[in-house]
Amino acid sequence: MRHVLTTCVYCGCGCGVYLREENGRVTGASPSRNHPVSRGNLCVKGWHLHDFIHSPNRLTSPLMRKNGELVAVSWDEALDFTAQELTRIGVTTSQQGIGVLSSAKCTNEENFLLQKFTRAILKTNNIDHCARL
Ligand code: SF4
């Protein structure tokens, strides 16, 4: 068993949390006593930070709707289609038809990169996040 210090992803407070790893699986979360933000505390979301990691409901490949059905496709097919559609919609709506929703299930660093991608590459400020405070 080992404990890995990380940052809670559920909101912008950024509490320090240890994730417990046993036999290749993340099995628990506990607060960092010395963290300058949380100082030994977590809210109920932080205590359950590990719950989604091994959920059988997580997607393991991209899905595309074909003939009314969601089917698993390769990353190349999904990314090619997404790039084509973002380009088409951006051109026809002066970028205002594009919006991006990020997720608390991403790391803070991934969310930072997504807002940079949205503003710098997609040229729109239409970005939001489910854990925005
Ligand atoms: S969700 Fe709770 S534990 Fe996580 S960063 Fe926010 S306040 Fe801290």
| Inside any domain, residue 54 | no
Written as one letter, the residue type at 30 is S
Neighbours of 131 (CB within 10 A): 17
Q: Domain residues for 78?
A: 74-129
Residue 33 lies in a domain: yes
Of 58, 48, 56, whose CA–CA distance to 27 is shortest? 48
* Residues 6 or more apart whose Cβ sits within 8 Å of residue 111: 102, 103, 129
Give the nearest ligand 1 atom to 17 CA. Answer: 3
- Residue 9 CA to ligand 1 center (angstroms) comes to 7
* pLDDT digit string, tens, across residues 63-77: 999 999 999 999 999
**Residues near ligand 1 with C-beta < 6 Å?**
8, 10-11, 13-15, 38, 42-43, 45-46
Q: How many CA atoms lie within 13 A of 22 on its CB side?
A: 5
User: Is there a domain that residue 57 lies in?
Assistant: no
CA nearest ligand 1 atom 6, residue: 11
- Tokens 């595309």 correspond to what residue? 64
pLDDT tens for 80-112 read 999 999 999 999 999 999 999 988 777 778 889
